[in-house]
Amino acid sequence: MNSQSQNSIDQKKLQNFMEVVLSDLGGAYSAVLVYIGDKLGLYKAMKDAGRPITSQELADVTRTSERNIREWLANQAAGGYVMYDAETQRYWLPAENALVLADENSLVYAVGTFQATMSYFKDASKIMEAFRTGRGLSWGEHDPDLFIGT
């Protein structure tokens, strides 16, 4: 190990930092999947269903691939964005979550923050160039998701 010997590493500190890294990665992946859920109308379809639905029903109503919807729903259920009943294999969007994810008129609607976040990923090469040159990045040079999300 470069300048530090293996013996000088505090395993507890390493473990704590790895938990931070994994949490950040999980958040980044979830941000992308929330963005996808919004863009494909998945949250709105779940809200509009008004009842628990299967992955196939959601895929049918949104004209998407059931396999991909099943994987998306599994992620969303694991993260607490949607709920899942293993016995019936049905998913639902709780009313509180729908206010945040599917109701554009809600005071707590937050999908725009995920959309703005996506712009940073899309603009990464431009941002790196700004770091290299010090030139900066004007608002007009950002991906449109930044403005729409804001």
Residue 117 shares a structural domain with residue 97: no
In this structure, are residues 38 and 114 in contact, taking their beta carbons and an 8 Å threshold? yes
In this structure, are residues 76 and 33 in contact, taking their beta carbons and an 8 Å threshold? yes
Residue 92 shares a structural domain with residue 144: no
Which DSSP string corresponds to 29-52? HHHHHHHHHHHTTHHHHHHHH-S-
Domain count for the chain: 2
Residue 83 shares a structural domain with residue 37: yes
Q: Using the 8-state DSSP alphabet, how is residue 122 labeled? A: H
Residue 66 shares a structural domain with residue 138: no
Output the pTM of the full model: 0.82
Share of the chain above pLDDT 70, in %: 96
Residue 5 lies in a domain: no
Alpha-carbon separation of residue 134 from 27, 68, 119, 121, 143 (angstroms): 29, 41, 20, 19, 19
Tell me the per-residue pLDDT of 24-72, one tens digit each, with 9 for 90 and over. 998 899 999 999 999 999 999 999 999 999 999 999 999 999 999 999 9
Residue 1 lies in a domain: no
The total of other beta-carbon atoms located within 10 Å of residue 133's CB is: 8
Residue 115 shares a structural domain with residue 98: no
Which residues constitute the domain of residue 88?
10-102
